[in-house]
Structure 1
Amino acid sequence: MNLALWIIAGLLAAVLLVSTSKMFVPREKIASVGHAGEWVLDFSPGALRGIGVLEILAAAGLILPAVLGVAPVMVPVTAVCVALLFAGAATMRLRRGERATIVPDLVYLAMAVFVAWGRFGPGSFTG
């Protein structure tokens, strides 16, 4: 169980770090890639930077507290926050009518819920 939780947390952290590219790539370029990227046009550059900063913090919060042994309870707390982030992403896609592109967000949401459940429960660092 512990290994599965580490793998899922690592995958989520990698996904979050990759998605921070929206902070550095112009939103028009992201939107031109395809239908799945058009959502960035609904947000200001400042909002995209804010989302990117939250994603960087979330990636760090999923891994670093446990690795460093400093406040490891922050891992499941961060996982809950990541689940809320992806729930918001899925909601945004539903509102935009992008039902075909919602699947990855739901998968990441389920992964975050799994990490939160596992680290609060059977795979807790304190137990």
Structure 2
Amino acid sequence: MDVAYWIVAALLALFYLYAGGKKVVQSQERLQPMMGWVDRVPMPLVRVIGTLEVLGAAGLILPPLTGIAPWLAIAAAVGLVLIQVGGTAVHLSRGEAQVIWLNIVLLLAAAAAAWLGTTWL
């Protein structure tokens, strides 16, 4: 189970470091072609979402790696599940049902990481 957790957590962390980092540092114009929803969401909220994604990525890796409060990895995974629930809602509200597959995959992967993380407790 530990190996499975690390594979899922590493893949999620890489994705969220990239996507969240872009949301934190790039302008709305640079994000628009890749993330069409940023035109309907205030940029401070986009920055908060990006920051939460980066913190979630760190939360998946650092607590179990250091052994300090490993339950935080489960909390981070649950937080990432909630982000994807929100992302799915945004895409559906925009009539973008064809792109929610990524949200669903990320949601399932984060849920799997939360479940796999319970093996430490």
TM-score class normalised by the smaller sequence = over 0.9
State the 1:89 CA deviation: 0.5
- Structure 2 unaligned residues grouped into runs of 5+: none
Letter in 1 for 2:65: V
Query: How many residues were matched structurally?
Result: 120
Identity of matched residues, %:
36
1:96 pairs with 2:97: no
Larger Rg: 1
Give 2:69's match in structure 1, choosing from 68, 71, 79: 71
Provide the TM-score with structure 2 as the length reference.
0.93
CA RMSD of aligned residues (A): 1.2
Q: Distance in 2 between matches of 1:3 and 1:110?
A: 17
Instruction: Name segments (4+ residues, structure 1) moved above 2 Å.
Output: none
Deviations 1:2-22 (A, max 9, x none): 211111011111111111202
- Structure 1 unaligned residues grouped into runs of 5+: none
Q: Distance in 1 between matches of 2:27 and 2:96?
A: 22
1:52 pairs with 2:47: no
Letter in 1 for 2:28: R
State the 1:29 CA deviation: 2.3
Who is 1:125 aligned against?
Answer: 120
